Chains A and B, each alone.
Chain A
Amino acid sequence: MSLDKSAVAHIAALARIKVPESDLEPLARELSNILGWIEQLNEVDTTGVEPMTSVVRMELARRPDVVTDGNCRDKILANAPEVAQGFFAVPKVVE
């Protein structure tokens, strides 16, 4: 599977990473190389093989549905690039 410029632009938009037009072509080549190398997996017959979804076979632990943390607004905001009135601030999203 090889990727072209427009495919890379689409993936970059999905990943929310701005890629300058001039980088699309070299990036498409690089990613296609990696994907080409990955294609060897098609040699493996995986009929009837379950996908591995968990490394350690275990039941997820349960705990009582109670608040275990909280009341630490200032700690949560301490690293924010921009804070307004006790909230994270971002560029305007609603006109």
Chain B
Amino acid sequence: MSELTDLTMADALAGLAKGAFSARELTEAHIRAVEAARPLNAFITETPERALEMAAASDERWRKGEAGAMEGLPIAIKDLFCTEGVLTTAGSHILDGFKPPYESTVTANLWRAGAVMLGKTNMDEFAMGSSNMTSYYGGVENPWRRKGDNRPLVPGGSSGGSAAAVAARIALGATGTDTGGSIRQPAAFCGIVGLKPTYGRCSRWGIVAFASSLDQAGPMTRTVRDAAIMLGAMAGHDPKDSTSVNRPVPDYTAALTGDVRGLRIGIPKEYRVDGMPAEIEALWARGIDWLKAAGAETVEISLPHTKYALPTYYIIAPAEASSNLARYDGVRYGLRVPGESLDEMYEETRAAGFGAEVKRRVLIGTYVLSAGYYDAYYLKAQRIRSLILRDFTDAFERVDAILTPSTPSAAFPTGEKMDDPVAMYLNDVFTVPVNLAGLPGISVPAGLSEEGLPLGLQVIGRAFDEETVLKVGEVLETAAAFTARPER
């Protein structure tokens, strides 16, 4: 029954409700798919026994009429979410053997809704990367290939394993986290939907911290409707996260009316960056036409500080990371490399446990926070962050949502851009401003590049207006009629 792995979440729920198949059958089909797709290296840990136990419990709840919003749906969890008793690595050597004695709030919410865990997905180390190549567990292969070119491509990152798993039909959906684009960029590279919610919408409790003022968990799925279903299960107030916002979680699927008539969509002129490939421009223009044809009005807007978002991010995110990652000291969990003194043990452990990109960012962060440089770098970046937020606040006086490309290119071959950190950082030029402003953003597959690779369009919304983001996203999805599939 390999076709069970082709279902959307919405269709799988309908099938389960009708009794067309059981959660156990659906889960078994996915476990087989996970095994068959091992060459992609999408998973760090597979949990088939737990999946079968959870599926059996789901079948029981379907029988009793107690099914939750995701009852019986097999999903994958980015290895940044703490899962009780299940290895959680954050893609890093320094968390060797770490089995959390607690469950993250987001995953606990998903299990309460009835979702089934297939395993933990590969990712860039501590979510720092845009290619999945910084993982201690090796890169992930994008299930897509260029036409007539057999070179393996990156899935994007940092949620690369999650994106590859959903695109390759080995999970119905997956969790991701997005600090500067880590849900939306891999979603665009793998031809799936990725939603970064408003900062505060999903609890960060139990998610390994990278940059706490930017990190946000969200769904990665094959359709916008599935993203709405999954976000509804993930979101909610959590007293254990002081930045989690106490406001009701709406029924996000109710927002998918298909009706965008009269909506005003902003087109930011600063996103026409130098050297942007013509096919990205063309895709963006098609997106504008689709929304106009659906009755929305497009308005040119200006977000004047856009070009400063990336360098601002590369002060703020490393600063927060250097502080968050101070906890990895070889004392309480994970790797320990012995040393003659306590300090030497710290230094040896962190030298062996962190990879090159993580070290780079911890060092940059330590530097910009150090005495004498704090004002020039960190405070300056915090001030520019205020200006970036103000750009968006001003724009949202005039428009209801903003349309941009998700990424400046399609997926690139494994190994490219590895020797030039700044070139790698430029992958996130369209996604980073959204994190700095704390806003919701979605990437929707909208077409193929000349090389036959998926490209995404991004919709950005007002804070806590995921509903408009999803509504506009679904209209783009319908117009794009993206039916292409990866070969692998």
Interface contact tally, CB-CB below 8 A:
158
Q: For the complex, is A55 an interface residue (Cβ under 8 Å from B)?
A: yes
Query: In whole angstroms, how far apart are the Cα atoms of A61 and B244 in the complex?
Result: 10
In contact, B308 and A40 (Cβ under 8 angstroms): yes
Chain A, range 1-58, C-beta contacts under 8 Å to B: 3, 8, 11-19, 27, 30-31, 33-35, 37-38, 40-44, 46, 49-56, 58
Q: For the complex, is B351 an interface residue (Cβ under 8 Å from A)?
A: yes
Q: Which of A35, A60, A90 is in CB contact (< 8 Å) with B345?
A: A90
In contact, B351 and A15 (Cβ under 8 angstroms): no
Q: How far is the CB of B426 from chain A (nearest CB, A)?
A: 10
Q: Chain B contacts of A15 at CB under 8 A?
A: 322, 350, 362-363, 366
In contact, B343 and A16 (Cβ under 8 angstroms): yes
In contact, A81 and B245 (Cβ under 8 angstroms): no
In contact, A37 and B438 (Cβ under 8 angstroms): no
Closest to A14 in B: B366
Check A31/B364 contact, CB under 8 A, given A15-B322, A78-B101, A91-B345: yes
Q: For the complex, is B21 an interface residue (Cβ under 8 Å from A)?
A: no
Query: In whole angstroms, how far apart are the Cα atoms of A86 and B465 in the complex?
Result: 49
Query: In whole angstroms, how far apart are the Cα atoms of A58 and B421 in the complex?
Result: 36
Query: In whole angstroms, how far apart are the Cα atoms of A17 and B326 in the complex?
Result: 10
Query: In whole angstroms, how far apart are the Cα atoms of A79 and B82 in the complex?
Result: 13
Could you tell me the dominant secondary structure of chain A's interface residues? loop
Q: How far is the CB of B425 from chain A (nearest CB, A)?
A: 8
Q: Chain A contacts of B389 at CB under 8 A?
A: 52
Write out, one digit per residue, whether chain B residues 350-368 have a CB within 8 A of any chain A CB (1) or not (0): 1100100001101110110
In contact, B101 and A75 (Cβ under 8 angstroms): yes
Query: In whole angstroms, how far apart are the Cα atoms of A45 and B125 in the complex?
Result: 35
Q: How far is the CB of B356 from chain A (nearest CB, A)?
A: 9
Check A88/B331 contact, CB under 8 A, given A16-B350, A41-B308: yes
Q: Which of A11, A33, A41, A56 is in CB contact (< 8 Å) with B367?
A: A11
Q: How far is the CB of B465 from chain A (nearest CB, A)?
A: 14
Q: For the complex, is A72 an interface residue (Cβ under 8 Å from B)?
A: yes
Closest to B97 in A: A79
Q: Chain B contacts of A37 at CB under 8 A?
A: 311, 314, 422
Q: How far is the CB of A61 from chain B (nearest CB, A)?
A: 7
Q: Chain B contacts of A49 at CB under 8 A?
A: 383-384, 386-387
In contact, B99 and A78 (Cβ under 8 angstroms): yes
Q: How far is the CB of A11 from chain B (nearest CB, A)?
A: 5
Write out, one digit per residue, whether chain B residues 181-221 have a CB within 8 A of any chain A CB (1) or not (0): 00000000000000000111000000000000110000000
Question: Given known contacts A52-B389, A90-B331, what 17 new A-B pairs fall within 8 Å (CB)?
Answer: A16-B347, A17-B362, A18-B344, A33-B421, A35-B367, A37-B314, A38-B314, A49-B387, A51-B379, A51-B385, A55-B200, A56-B199, A56-B438, A76-B101, A79-B333, A79-B334, A81-B331
- A-B contacts, 24 listed (Cβ < 8 Å): A15-B362, A16-B329, A16-B343, A17-B350, A31-B360, A37-B311, A37-B422, A38-B311, A38-B377, A41-B315, A42-B380, A46-B387, A50-B386, A52-B386, A55-B438, A56-B198, A56-B199, A56-B243, A75-B101, A76-B332, A79-B98, A91-B338, A91-B340, A91-B341
A residues bordering B, Cβ < 8 Å? 3, 8, 11-19, 27, 30-31, 33-35, 37-38, 40-44, 46, 49-56, 58, 60-61, 63, 72, 75-76, 78-82, 88, 90-91, 93
